[in-house]
Amino acid sequence: MTEHSLWRFSRAIHHALNEGQTDQLEELLDDNVEWAIYGPIDMFAFLGARRGKAAVIEVIKQIAKAVNLHRFDRESIMLGEDSAASLMRYSVTPKNGAPISVRLAHFAQFKAGRLISLRAVMDTFDLVEQTLGRHIHLPKIA
Amino acid sequence: MTEHSLWRFSRAIHHALNEGQTDQLEELLDDNVEWAIYGPIDMFAFLGARRGKAAVIEVIKQIAKAVNLHRFDRESIMLGEDSAASLMRYSVTPKNGAPISVRLAHFAQFKAGRLISLRAVMDTFDLVEQTLGRHIHLPKIA
């Protein structure tokens, strides 16, 4: 039984984020990989959509420069033959900022062991408030 | 081959949200169901964590009162024997508000055909901005 593509990919991306080494990750990205982490690109330019290996490597380098990753907990995981979905909780520190904790759900698709699609959804309002270090007043709608 | 629990649950919850009929849904919730849609509870009191069938039925009624659901698209889905994860895009109109579109990832666990756990992550900053109908200025962090 071979290892699921998610585990190789997960090691490679965390290695890239923590050590700035992207060689392993490059081998695991399809040339035309589709990538999106939905969120406020005004605050974090590394959020949003990217297309292709070079663009994804570049965005990983931007994330590695912008935040220190301390730990992550996988709260839920589903594995298919060539796909995976996880609900994760990341503890990170933005450079020059205080530690924050963000919940992120990602859906990944692989082909021949390489990532062809990744889409991630975060509780971005919580991310913004934690990053600002203050509460944003909201009207009560319902 | 029996139908996956997700499909029955999905029909029942949309029936409850659209028609206000919660009978079908009640049959598909475990008595001790754990439930969480992470997001700003100041703006939407129906967000946050709930525990138990009665609390979840109550929150569904609150959501049904607060928003009209127009359509949803399932962008990704993973099904396990007793679990499911979906990336969805919902088109909804808050009562007295303009139509908005929100992306939501949910992870569900079933036991004997009943929901025992549901956790959902949304792009909540986008939700807040769309609901307010205006842009919230954010500093550029990275």
Q: What confidence tens digit (pLDDT) does each residue in B19-73 have?
A: 989 999 999 999 999 999 999 999 999 999 999 999 999 999 999 999 999 999 9
∠ CA A121-A122-A127, rounded to 5°: 160
In the predicted model, what is the mean pLDDT of residues B72-95? 95
Chain A stretch 2-31, residues whose beta carbon is closer than 8 A to a beta carbon of chain B: none
**Residue B82 C-alpha, separation from nearest chain A C-alpha, in angstroms:** 11
A119 touches chain B (CB under 8 A): yes
pLDDT of B94 over the 90 cut: no
- A123, A88 Cβ separation under 8 angstroms: no
Interatomic CA distance for residues B62 and B65, integer angstroms:
5
- Minimal-distance CA residue of chain A relative to B38: A123
- B102-136 residues labelled b (16+ CB within 10 A) or e (exposed): bbbbbbbbbeeebbbbbbbbbbbbbbbbbbeeeee
pLDDT of A20 over the 90 cut: no
The sign of the CA dihedral B107, B33, B123, A89 is negative
pLDDT of A2 over the 90 cut: no
In percent, the amount of chain B with pLDDT more than 70 equals: 99
Interatomic CA distance for residues B79 and A83, integer angstroms:
11
Angle between helical axes of A124-132 and B124-132 (0-180°, round to 10): 90
**Are A107 and B105 an interchain contact pair (Cβ–Cβ within 8 Å)?**
yes
Interatomic CA distance for residues A88 and A47, integer angstroms:
17
A contacts of B81 (beta carbons < 8 Å): none
pLDDT of B1 over the 80 cut: no
Nearest to A142 among B44, B119, B124 (CB): B44
What is the model's pLDDT at position A96?
Answer: 80
What is the model's pLDDT at position A126?
Answer: 97
> To which H or E segment does residue B74 belong?
strand B67-79
Interatomic CA distance for residues B125 and B33, integer angstroms:
27
Q: pLDDT class for B140, splitting at 50, 70, 90?
A: very high
In the predicted model, what is the mean pLDDT of residues A107-122? 98
**Are A65 and B124 an interchain contact pair (Cβ–Cβ within 8 Å)?**
no
**Residue B77 C-alpha, separation from nearest chain A C-alpha, in angstroms:** 9
**Are A142 and B62 an interchain contact pair (Cβ–Cβ within 8 Å)?**
yes
Angle between helical axes of A5-19 and A53-66 (0-180°, round to 10): 50
The whole-model pTM stands at 0.94
A contacts of B68 (beta carbons < 8 Å): none
**Residue (of A128, A126, A66, A125) closest to A96 by Cα position:** A66
Q: What token pair was written down for B95?
A: 């009562």
Q: Is B16 helix (H, G, I), strand (E, B) or coil?
A: helix
Location of structure tokens 């990275």: B142
**Are B83 and A78 an interchain contact pair (Cβ–Cβ within 8 Å)?**
yes
In the predicted model, what is the mean pLDDT of residues A2-10? 94
Interatomic CA distance for residues B131 and B120, integer angstroms:
19
What is the model's pLDDT at position B108?
Answer: 98
What is the model's pLDDT at position A1?
Answer: 61
Q: Give the model confidence (pLDDT) of A63-114 as tens digits.
A: 999 999 999 999 999 999 999 999 999 999 988 889 999 999 999 999 999 9
In the predicted model, what is the mean pLDDT of residues B79-104? 94
Amino acid at B5: S
**Are B125 and A46 an interchain contact pair (Cβ–Cβ within 8 Å)?**
no
Q: pLDDT class for B95, splitting at 50, 70, 90?
A: confident
Query: CB within 8 A of A51, min separation 6: which ones?
Result: A32, A33, A34, A35
B contacts of A119 (beta carbons < 8 Å): 75-76, 87
- The whole-chain average pLDDT of chain A stands at 95
A contacts of B38 (beta carbons < 8 Å): 103, 123, 126
- Minimal-distance CA residue of chain A relative to B45: A142
- B139, A131 Cβ separation under 8 angstroms: no
**Are A78 and B94 an interchain contact pair (Cβ–Cβ within 8 Å)?**
no
